[in-house]
Amino acid sequence: MDNQDKRLFLLDAFALIYRAYFAFIKNPRINSKGMNTSAVFGFTNTLNDLLKREKPTHIAVVFDTSEPTVRHIEYPAYKAQREEMPEDLRKSIPYIKQLIEAYKIPILFAHGYEADDVIGTLAKKAEKVGYQTFMMTPDKDYGQLVSKNIFMYKPASHGNGVEILGVKEICAKFEIKAPEQVIDILGLMGDKVDNIPGIPGVGEKTAIQLIKDYGSVENLVQNTSGLKGKLKEKVENNIEQALLSKKLATIILDVPIEFEEDKLIMEEPDQDALRELFAELEFRRAASIVLGEDLFGGENTDSKTSTPTKIAVEEDAEEKVFQEIKTIQDTEHTYHFLNDAAGRKSLHAILSKSKEICFDTETTGLDANNVEIVGLSFSIKPFEAYYIPLPDNYNEAHKIIAEFKDIFENEKTLKIGQNIKYDMNVLKWYDIEVKGPLFDTMVAHFLIQPDMRHNMNVLAETYLHYSPVSIETLIGKRGKGQLSMREVDEAIISDYAAEDADVTIRLKEVFLPMLDETNTLKLFNEVETPLIPVLASMEAEGIRLDKSALKELSLELEKDVAKIILEIYDLAGMEFNIASPKQVGEVLFEKLNIVDKPKKTKTGQYATGEEILSKLEDKHVIVKKILEYREIQKLKNTYVDTLPTLVNPRTGRLHTSYNQVVAVTGRLSSDNPNLQNIPVRTERGREIRKAFVPRNEEFVLLAADYSQIELRIIADLSGDEGMQEAFSKGHDIHAATAAKVYGVDLKDVNSDMRRNAKMVNFGIIYGISAFGLSERLNIPRREAADIIEQYFIKYPGVKSYMDESVAKAKEMGYVETILGRRRYLRDINSGNAVVRGFAERNAINAPIQGSAADMIKIAMISIHNEMQKKNMKSKMLLQVHDELVFDAHRSELDELKILVEDKMKNAIPLKVPVEVGIGTGDNWLQAH
């Protein structure tokens, strides 16, 4: 074997597991059984990527054990401050070990030693017998082990690719001559995570300089006479601590563990074990990638003949109970293919007598306003469905669909669908207005399990233990070779389409009682479902875009950016790639030295993100110019040049799509395009709104938005008298808060006081800390802490609300909005402070954000219904956060203003006045 045939990968288990878990901390992956699968999912992806990319010849995963190590014995405080492992992560460990075993990868450990000691020992032993060893870990400590044939292998993260660090890279990163000197740097700077003390006040930059000057900790402590001032004092007062810290940071290389290379050979995985585990965890994509299968079933081919797999549906301490996942091949069903007038007539008679009808459209694409219907499917009872193919010719298709117009427009019949809004919008192009009560299985599941995925295949497999036919078996995978549904044989489409309607009606029967069990049936019936036709109507309307205005703005931005580039080059004294974060960092922090201790990313590159640079604007004028350059480029690429390309060729209008099942707070999201992200805080960003215009000269745009609605909801929920009084008297809430916090009269509040109070008002419910407030306001931390302290003294009701929300969440496991929308908080009782902190902040702000979301939804429903009742020419077009935008017919303007204000103000009665700002104009900017 040469070196390339002897490539050993040693994985630091807990370093990779923690990394995977925290990568999803803000948006954890929860399966149908309520398990947080983030750690297992992240680790699975990391492992799959490694195996595919590197194809190791030898491999092992190394774990720490719970026994004290030699470091704990020598220094009892070692790792004593480490947070307790999050409960969800702890529960994931057995699954991760099952995963590793299913891959037939050895698990290694040594009692009394840490994983890095085991990895270090094995790496050195492997090197002696001709192996190249790659230590897979994000932990910088491993840098000390790197040699000619031992490398650090840092997995991809934060948009950066995999990093392989050898001697050259480690020496460059730490500015040292030999990798072993990493130990000296760690010894001087210490490690807060492991509670290694180091020398107090010595950070990474100072530690690197000291080792550059003295070579080692030992040489430094023997030559302190060469040091000056406070640094000399720090080193001389902490000599023993520095030597101890170096010892604690040294990876042990004589762990009593044998290097048994035959046992580390990479084998083929146990596919049955992997299939069973992926099914239990509900990892569809992992199964597809690793096993080449559609999860829980056979291979991704047209044939579905392989043996059904199993999924765990319940679990006790001793055994797992499994239920078979079935497919169309082994499920009794009756699907009718109706390709003649007689068949359609007979179906019409059946549907006419039904109180509930499930339907689905098969279309040529995903854009509801730019597709054709290929076929219709119906179901009125489980395991039976009907499919009607439609001809290519629009007029002929229109005639056939018209046969069912009275069915769709029957106001008494319940219409059931999965993402029914899409089908409603498609049918509008065939002059069909879907009427009557609705039941959307996707929306229902969102209320039952908001943290889960809601697509039909996942829901079917989870709740029906049934795996539907994959669309990829019909039209192929995404990409250039993917077919249109028009190109698939009608008889083949028939089963696929009929199955969709059948599965959806079966899901409806499962979800209806679950809505009742989770106390969300009222919210479903009174808010989410009545909102569907409102959103469908808005999506179908679209909004007119003035392309010429955007073209003009694009040219202006081009001139602006050219000018700014020259200014940046002049300020930098050199030309460089302003779009490169790496080069920006080098210019700012090496050439211009705008700060002493610049922050770095985990990859060692200078951090130059917007948040970092915005805090450095006062350090050098070039920073503001770079931020300005970035803003223009983003505006131009994301909006100004892109929006015109998204105008619908059929309507000449821009149609966004609203999603009810994305944000767990209940807020609507918008995509294709996302109109909710159009910037409003900068002058250039606001210019984009000029391009949104009325449909013609008979109309003007009307914009109505809630004023400080979240703060008014806090005042209502908290019952705080001071805050309620300020709103009741019509005071500027930020000025009123400043007056209270600073102890001055309202008339004496200055702009800085108001600015600070505004930041606290909006930041307090998101858990802003003294550190966070000081960073945002650029004030000393002590002053920020005083502001927060005074805030809680003056608004004691707000503090009580926050404490009570957390307490209720700890007891119930969830919080609720005014209307009962739930946000489940699995980590609220976690022993890990970081994880628990996220949950506590959500416990405080979810009821506020969610109530605001519910409020505007109710307003939209009321406004829409009233406008329809009055048969108004005006139309509701957009919803953007707390704002609604209308195409207002000039003759109805006064009437519409009164209607909109009334419905928005009274959507949910609050104990404080609700204010709505209304404006009109010839474009969105003027109206706003």
Average pLDDT over residues 77-82: 53
In terms of pLDDT, which residue wins out, 51 or 324? 51
Contact 16, 66 (CB under 8 A): no
CA distances from 514 to 313, 447, 507, 640, 862 (A): 17, 10, 11, 45, 27
Q: What is the pLDDT of residue 781?
A: 85
What DSSP string describes 806-826?
HHHHHHHSEEE-TT--EEE-T
- pLDDT band at residue 121 using 50, 70 and 90 as cut-offs: very high
Q: Which tops the pLDDT comparison, 74 or 309?
A: 74
Going by pLDDT thresholds of 50, 70 and 90, the confidence category of residue 19 is: confident
**Quick check: 593 pLDDT over 70?**
yes
278-287, 318-327, 587-596: least confident range:
318-327
| Maximum pairwise Cα distance, the chain | 103
pTM of the model: 0.71
Residue-by-residue DSSP string for 662-702 = S-TTS--EEESS-GGG---SSHHHHHGGGGEE-SSTTEEEE
The DSSP symbol for 265 reads B
Residue 899 has pLDDT above 70, yes or no: yes
> Is the pLDDT confidence value at 825 over 90?
no
- Residues 135 and 152 sit within 8 Å (Cβ to Cβ): yes
Phi, psi for 854 (deg, rounded to 5): -60, -40
Query: Tens digit of pLDDT for each residue in 217-245?
Result: 788 778 777 777 778 777 777 777 778 77
pLDDT, greater one: 579 or 188: 579
Distances (CA, A) of 139 to 14, 56, 134, 145, 509: 10, 21, 13, 12, 50
Residue 7 CB partners (closer than 8 Å, separation 6+): 54, 56, 57, 58, 131, 132, 134
pLDDT in tens, 710-746: 999 999 999 999 899 989 988 888 888 888 888 888 8
Interacting residues of 113 by C-beta distance below 8 A, sequence separation 6+: 65, 69, 70, 252, 255
CA separation, residue 574 to residues 288, 568, 570, 598 (Å): 50, 9, 7, 21
pLDDT over 70, % of the chain: 89
Confidence check: pLDDT of 198 > 90: no
Q: Does position 858 have pLDDT exceeding 50, yes or no?
A: yes
Spatial CB neighbours of 723, under 8 Å, sequence gap ≥ 6? 711, 714, 715, 733, 795, 797, 798, 912
778 φψ region: left (φ > 0), alpha (ψ -120 to 50), beta (else):
left
pLDDT of 474 above 60: no
Instruction: Check pLDDT > 50 for residue 320.
Output: no
Q: Confidence class of residue 856 from pLDDT cuts 50, 70 and 90?
A: very high
Are 65 and 121 in contact by the 8 Å Cβ rule? The answer is no
Residue 843 pLDDT more than 50? yes
The DSSP code for 524 is I
pLDDT attached to residue 275: 85
Q: What pLDDT does residue 645 have? A: 92
pLDDT in tens, 263-317: 999 998 888 888 888 888 888 766 666 765 544 343 333 222 222 222 232 222 2
- Rounded to 10 deg, the angle between the 751-763 and 709-718 helix axes is 70
The pLDDT value recorded for residue 695 is 95
Rounded to the nearest integer, the mean pLDDT of the chain is: 85
Count the helix, strand and coil residues of the chain and give each as a percent rounded to the nearest 5. 50, 15, 35
| pLDDT for position 73 | 55
- The DSSP bridge partners found for residue 358 are 379, 416
pLDDT at 830: 79
The closest of 134, 176, 173, 158 to 11, measured between CA atoms, is 134
Across residues 44-48, what is the average pLDDT? Answer: 89
Least confident of 24-38, 371-385, 586-600: 24-38
Q: Which residue has the higher pLDDT, 763 or 444?
A: 444
Residue 192 scores a pLDDT above 70? no
Burial zone of 924 (CB within 10 Å; 0-12 exposed, 13-18 middle, 19+ buried): buried
pLDDT above 70 for 470: no
- Residue 563: Cβ-neighbour burial (10 angstroms; 0-12, 13-18, 19+): exposed
DSSP string, 122-160: HHHHHHHTT-EEEEE-S-GGGGGG-BTTEEEEEPPBTTB
pLDDT tier for residue 82 given thresholds of 50, 70 and 90 = low
* pLDDT top residue among 528 and 254: 528
Check residue 464 and report its DSSP letter: I
pLDDT confidence of residue 606: 86
CB-CB neighbours of 139 under 10 Å: 18
- Tally of residues, the chain: 928
Q: Which residue has the higher pLDDT, 468 or 633?
A: 633
Of residues 427 and 747, which shows the higher confidence score? 427
- End-to-end distance of the chain based on CA atoms, in angstroms? 72
| 255 CB neighbour count, 10 Å cutoff | 19
- pLDDT tens digits along 476-510: 555 555 555 555 666 667 888 889 999 999 999 99
How many C-beta atoms surround the C-beta of residue 82 within 10 A? 12
pLDDT at 311: 28
User: What pLDDT, on the 0 to 100 scale, is given for residue 864?
Assistant: 97
User: Poorest-confidence range of 62-66, 352-356, 853-857?
Assistant: 62-66
Residue 310 pLDDT = 28
Task: Output 202 or 359, whichever has higher pLDDT.
Answer: 359
How far apart CA 773 and CA 748 sit, in angstroms, is: 23
Query: What pLDDT was estimated at residue 504?
Result: 96
Count CA atoms closer than 13 A to 854's CA, side-chain side.
27
- Tokens 């606290």, residue? 760
Helices and strands, number each (H, E), in the chain: 38, 25
Q: What pLDDT sits at residue 625?
A: 94
- On the CB side of 335, CA atoms within 13 Å amount to 23
Q: What is the pLDDT of residue 185?
A: 84
* 116 to 14, 50, 56, 65, 249: CA distances (angstroms): 10, 19, 20, 12, 11
Pairing of strands 320-324, 334-337: unpaired
